[in-house]
Amino acid sequence: MDTAVEVERGGINLKPSGRMPDGDVALAPIEAGKTVGNIEVEDPIFRCRDVDVYYGAKHAIKKVGIDVGKSQVLAMIGPSGCGKSTFLRCLNRMNDTIEGARVEGSILLDGKDIHDKKQDVVQLRARVGMVFQKPNPFPKSIYENVAYGPRIHGLAADRVELDEIVHSSLQRAGLWEEVKDRLQHPGTSLSGGQQQRLCIARTIAVNPEVILMDEPCSALDPIATARIEDLMEELRQSCAIVIVTHSMQQAARVSQRTAYFHLGDLIEVGETDRIFTNPRHKLTEDYITGRFG
Amino acid sequence: MSKPRLTPKETQAIVERSIRRRYWAERRFRAYGFAAVTAGMAFLVYLFVVIFSNGLGAFRQTQVQLDIYYDPAVIDPAGTRKPDDLQAGDYQALVRSALKARFPEVEGRAASRELTRLVSGSASFALQKRITADPSLIGTRETRWVLAGDAVDLFMKGQVDRALPEAERPLSDLQIGWLDKLKAENALELRFNKTFMTNGDSREPENAGIWGAVAGSFYTLVLTLLLSFPIGVAAAIYLEEFARKNRWTDIIEVNINNLAAVPSIVFGLLGLAVFIGFFGLPRSAPLVGAMVLTLLTLPTIIIASRAALKAVPPSIREAALGMGASKIQMVMHHVLPLAMPGMLTGTIIGMARALGESAPLLMIGMVAFIVDIPKGITDPSTVLPVQVYLWSDSPERGFVEKTSGAIIVLLAFLVVMNTTAVILRKRFERRW
Amino acid sequence: MALSLEGHTARAFDGDLSSLHIQAVAMGALVIEQVQLAVNAYSGWDRSLATVVLDRERKVNLYDTEIEEAALQLIARRQPVAQDLRAVFAIDKVVTELERAADEAKKLALTVLAESEMNGFRPGAATAREVRQLGRLAVVMTRTALEAFDHLDPIAASAVVEQDLEMDAEYAAALRRILTRAMEDARQLQAAIEAAFIMRSLERIGDHARNIARHVGFIGGDFDPTATGVLPESLASKSS
């Protein structure tokens, strides 16, 4: 597609066409098995290439490659069973806990392969935190919930430092004002939205570089959801966030990049604004407009 | 031809017709449940009534009030007041003279012997202990309550039938006459039976006490708990969390389930052959008893603990692992505290069973006649259920109520043990 | 090659979007009629036709408000994205263009009524002929654009571009001729100015038609099909 010549006709200037607003010069033709859009990001925190995941004989993730940028929210959307949660769990090796799960391909965190023998999985999970779909605070006090991570990783030298970490984590999670008078109460005595923020607080207490969120708001009401989305916007200043979500509106609201998964394949990746106004792949279009199934 | 779809109103009519039937079924079911509970409770109440009516008598014993003159000529003829000499004194003579003083009209050796038999043989030992402890009493007079003989005890508890001919009674007419007189003078009473709670076993029913068996049971059970709880919990954690799921673990699981059903006497045979025969541990000791009972209770604890571990929701495990906890930390910090109430329940059940076991302990020798109170885990001892068995086997009539009394003590022991465990479990549940 | 507004899993969504589209097309048909009538009224100096145009104007405005309202509700209810979002956006914009085109037609009608009231300037035969010619072009352009909008066919829409070139040429020529006539006879100046305004309105109607065509392209995903007239590859592969 060439660019058009600027034409003056009767005083009317027509814009050159053929340029898509996000600057791509040529539109990629759609090939089978190839992801549409730019999977690369400059200076990524995660670089995944040719990732395959097998559950026994089932091929759950098929040769997926994608980058995750620092200070950015990447949303992964797709119909049920498309593999987005599976892929998310690869990033902090939670699939190791599942019998019969096999992960192949390269996943580099800051340049280093996370499956390398020298990489300690416990340390990995301190750098890559995870928030789950159903809030699951430990059956301990609120204080203990947040203090657990720093304690086992030895991040605080004494009680004073630990108090400080707990205080700042709860504050960053937007929970401090609500719980400061009842830190010794059990974590399970909070409402659903508060529990999820508590889970976020305990995740950020160890200063991770990436936070993985698996449908964090699906069990929450709209106000709690809005609070957490607001929190995500603040958090992404200091760490990358990868969020799996069923709600396309949420993906549109919180993310800068969106990835569409379909039956284990990564179909399209791109800037969120463009994906939701003008996606390039028909499958993506069908899914987000509700023509799927 | 398929059925046409019903309107909501038609469906409602059908539902209404079936509702009465359903409610009746429900009411029947509740009645069954209530009947079952009532039947169970009735049996329980009957059991308690029988035991208590038989056994309460064991907690009281007959005592005779005597004027005792601590005759120095009898106790300490040499006048040295030396402990060895004091011990060697003829305290039985003091008892005899006190009785004679009470009934001066008694003549003849036969009658005298009968008179002496009114008081228990242990009375003289009681006096001996008293003088040895406090020699200043020598030469004084004192009115004391002394233990009566076992036949007198039976008499006071109404178990001697006066209507029977003399030869068939444990007491002669003469003796009954004396006892009536003593009773009239308020010198013959039923008092609280301290000896039952403080003495060890004895040939004489009036001296027989339960404390030896209680001490034996206590040592055995404490040791059993100390052995079986850690081993059982550790085994359950390993099997549930760390062992790989393959044929070997399946075989182990099947075997543990089977072990839980093995008759307990088999463990006794094992203990006899291995612990006593091969390792040469002392017979009849709480140590060996505890080891045998540990083998008995381990399967129960392991099964209950595994179930409790399985019941911990995977979301807690994932949360812990996601935080960067290692597997051991995840299990110790999060899974174990949540599974603890279930584990304690299994332990309570196991311990309750162990408390009441007699067959395996009989095999390892805890059936011997042990008089001394055991002081350590290697001293020969017996346990409460075995004691009950021994007394129930005894010919003397005085042991009948003592058997029931021992059962009452056993039940009390059980209640205390279970209450402690339930309180512990509630504490664990409340904290989380 | 036409795009489709249907196929949603929630069929009510199909209905909402389709009815919005159909209403806009109906409004377009009405506007085409208005333009035709207005041109006839001016060139034939027919007061009754002009009155009809003015009366019908109310209906056009009603369409405008109703469709805007419907579009707003659809956005609130369905949160459309991608093509659906572009479609609603474009329909709204097309409706605005149609409303403006109708306004231009109204100007023609008003001129007829006002001038004949005051016994003012009636166009001469030459002017009338030229107005008819430009009017015909305007109607053709609007019809083409509307057909493309009806079938949601960006390729058909690009045909309007060619027609726009023709319109521009005709307009320029007509303007020249009017000026020439005005220069010859100074008394005709005022009439010439009036006629020039009328022709400008018709040219504007052509512009609106061209905008409508551009919005059809917007729905298809290419943001400016009118420049080269060649269908972009994206549409070729997506529409199939």
Domain boundaries, given as residue ranges, for chain A: 45-289
Let me know if residue C237 belongs to a domain.
no
Question: Chains that contact C by 3+ CB pairs under 8 Å?
Answer: A
Neighbours of B321 (CB within 10 A): 23
**CA–CA–CA angle C82, C88, C93 (5° rounding):** 125
Q: Which of B225, B202, B369, B348 minimizes the C-alpha distance to B289?
A: B225
Could you give the C-alpha distances from A262 to A86, A283, C237, in angstroms and in order?
Answer: 12, 8, 20
Please list, residue by residue across A241-256, b when 16 or more beta carbons sit within 10 angstroms of its beta carbon and e when fewer do. bbbbbeebebbbbbbb
Could you give the C-alpha distances from B141 to A138, B72, B99, B125, B136, in angstroms and in order?
Answer: 75, 11, 14, 18, 11
User: Which DSSP letter does residue A27 get?
Assistant: P
What is the extent of the structural domain holding C114? 11-231
- Taking each helix axis from N to C terminus, what angle separates C82-117 and C189-220, rounded to the nearest 10 degrees? 170
Q: What is the mean pLDDT of residues C123-140?
A: 92
Q: What is the mean pLDDT of residues C45-56?
A: 94
Q: What is the mean pLDDT of residues B125-149?
A: 83
Q: Is the pLDDT of residue B149 over 90?
A: no
Q: Is the pLDDT of residue B431 over 70?
A: no
**CA–CA–CA angle B242, B247, B249 (5° rounding):** 35
H helix runs in A76-120, sequence order: 84-91
Give the chain B residue whose CA is nearest to the CA of A132: B319
**Strand A240-244 with A73-77, pairing:** parallel
Decide if A87 contacts A60 (C-beta within 8 A): no
Instruction: Please report, rounded to a whole number, the percentage of residues in chain B having pLDDT higher than 90.
Output: 30
Decide if A63 contacts A105 (C-beta within 8 A): yes
Residues of A with CB under 8 A from a CB of B: 92, 94, 97, 99, 122-126, 129-130, 132, 134, 136-140, 148-149, 152-153, 186, 199, 202-203, 206
Q: Is the pLDDT of residue C172 over 50?
A: yes
Q: What are phi and psi of B19, to 5 degrees?
A: -65, -45
Q: Is the pLDDT of residue C94 over 90?
A: yes
Give the chain B residue whose CA is nearest to the CA of A196: B319
Quick one: A163 exposed, middle or buried, by C-beta within 10 A (0-12, 13-18, 19+)? middle
- Of the residues A92, A96, A125, the best mutation for testing chain B's interface (the one with the most B CB atoms within 10 Å of its CB) is A125
Quick one: A118 exposed, middle or buried, by C-beta within 10 A (0-12, 13-18, 19+)? exposed
Structure tokens at B427: 């504490």
Decide if A70 contacts A240 (C-beta within 8 A): yes
User: Which DSSP letter does residue B297 get?
Assistant: H
In sequence order, which residues have a C-beta less than 8 Å from that of residue A159 and are 6 or more positions away? Answer: none
- Across the interface, whether the CB atoms of A206 and B315 are under 8 A apart is answered no
- Of the residues A95, A120, A148, the best mutation for testing chain B's interface (the one with the most B CB atoms within 10 Å of its CB) is A148
> Which residues on chain B are in Cβ contact (under 8 Å) with A198?
none
Let me know if residue C221 belongs to a domain.
yes
Give the chain B residue whose CA is nearest to the CA of A199: B319
- pLDDT attached to residue B371: 79
In terms of residues, how long is chain C?
240
Let me know if residue C2 belongs to a domain.
no
Q: Does B277 touch chain A (CB under 8 A)?
A: no
Q: Does C100 touch chain A (CB under 8 A)?
A: no
What is the torsional sign of CA B75, B77, B80, B85? negative
User: Which DSSP letter does residue C65 get?
Assistant: H
Q: Return d(Cα C17, Cα C24) in angstroms, integer.
A: 11
Could you give the C-alpha distances from A207 to A128, A150, A211, A283, B226, in angstroms and in order?
Answer: 9, 9, 10, 37, 43
Quick one: B281 exposed, middle or buried, by C-beta within 10 A (0-12, 13-18, 19+)? middle
Q: Return d(Cα C145, Cα C149) in angstroms, integer.
A: 6
Let me know if residue C130 belongs to a domain.
yes
Q: Return d(Cα C45, Cα C127) in angstroms, integer.
A: 12
Q: Which of B240, B241, B266 minimizes the C-alpha distance to B253?
A: B240
Structure tokens at A281: 């792949």
Q: Return d(Cα A62, Cα A10) in angstroms, integer.
A: 55
Give the confidence band of B2 by pLDDT, cuts at 50, 70, 90.
low
Quick one: B211 exposed, middle or buried, by C-beta within 10 A (0-12, 13-18, 19+)? middle
Q: Return d(Cα A219, Cα A113) in angstroms, integer.
A: 34
Let me know if residue C76 belongs to a domain.
yes
- Counting the structural domains of chain C, the total is 1
Give the confidence band of B284 by pLDDT, cuts at 50, 70, 90.
confident
> Which residues on chain B are in Cβ contact (under 8 Å) with A97?
317-318, 321
| β-pair partners for A265 | A262
CATH code for the domain in which residue C34 is found: 1.20.58.220
Q: What are phi and psi of A283, to 5 degrees?
A: -60, -40
H helix runs in B357-397, sequence order: 359-363, 384-393
Mean pLDDT of chain B: 87
Q: Please give the average pLDDT of every successive group of 10 residues along chain A, which has 293 residues.
A: 35 36 39 81 93 93 94 94 92 90 94 91 94 93 95 92 95 92 93 94 95 94 92 92 95 95 93 91 92 79
Give the chain A residue whose CA is nearest to the CA of C78: A289
Could you give the C-alpha distances from B3 to B6, C165, in angstroms and in order?
Answer: 8, 69
Q: Which of B248, B233, B298 minimizes the C-alpha distance to B270?
A: B298
Q: Is the pLDDT of residue B87 over 80?
A: no
Structure tokens at B236: 């359950």
Sheet-wide strand order for B60-69 = B141-147, B60-69, B188-192
Sheet-wide strand order for A128-131 = A128-131, A210-214, A240-244, A73-77, A257-262, A265-271
Q: Return d(Cα C235, Cα B223) in angstroms, integer.
A: 83
> Which residues on chain A are in Cβ contact (under 8 Å) with C171?
10
- Across the interface, whether the CB atoms of A129 and B321 are under 8 A apart is answered no
- pLDDT attached to residue A70: 93
Question: How much of chain C is helix, strand and coil, in % rounded to 5?
Answer: 85, 0, 15
Q: Return d(Cα A179, Cα A200) in angstroms, integer.
A: 14
Structural domains in chain B, CATH included, are: 59-192 (no CATH), 211-431 (1.10.3720.10)
Let me know if residue C226 belongs to a domain.
yes
Q: Which of A214, A204, A230 minimizes the C-alpha distance to A83?
A: A214
Q: Which of B246, B259, B248, B348 minimizes the C-alpha distance to B295?
A: B259
Let me know if residue C104 belongs to a domain.
yes
Q: What are phi and psi of C123, to 5 degrees?
A: -65, 145
The residue assigned the tokens 């005005």 is: C182
CATH class of residue range A45-289: alpha beta
The one-letter amino acid at A129: G
> Which residues on chain B are in Cβ contact (under 8 Å) with A123?
324
Q: What is the pLDDT of residues C138-158, one digit of tens each?
A: 999 999 999 999 999 888 888
3-class DSSP assignment, residue A186: strand
Single pTM value for the model? 0.78
In terms of residues, how long is chain B?
432
Q: What are phi and psi of A156, to 5 degrees?
A: -120, 135
- pLDDT attached to residue C222: 62
Give C75's Cβ-side CA count (13 Å radius).
14
Could you give the C-alpha distances from B389 to B82, B215, B376, B394, in angstroms and in order?
Answer: 43, 17, 23, 9
Q: What is the mean pLDDT of residues B14-32?
A: 93
- Across the interface, whether the CB atoms of C172 and A285 are under 8 A apart is answered no
- Of the residues A93, A99, A138, the best mutation for testing chain B's interface (the one with the most B CB atoms within 10 Å of its CB) is A138
> Which residues on chain C are in Cβ contact (under 8 Å) with A289?
8, 80-84
Partner residue opposite A92 with nearest CB, options B322, B333, B338: B322
Q: Is the pLDDT of residue C240 over 80?
A: no
Let me know if residue C157 belongs to a domain.
yes
Q: Return d(Cα B161, Cα B180) in angstroms, integer.
A: 14
Quick one: A2 exposed, middle or buried, by C-beta within 10 A (0-12, 13-18, 19+)? exposed
Q: Return d(Cα A221, Cα C102) in angstroms, integer.
A: 48
In terms of residues, how long is chain A?
293
End-to-end CA distance of chain C: 7
Q: Does A25 touch chain C (CB under 8 A)?
A: no
Q: Does C172 touch chain A (CB under 8 A)?
A: yes
The residue assigned the tokens 């040219």 is: C203
Structure tokens at A26: 């040529």
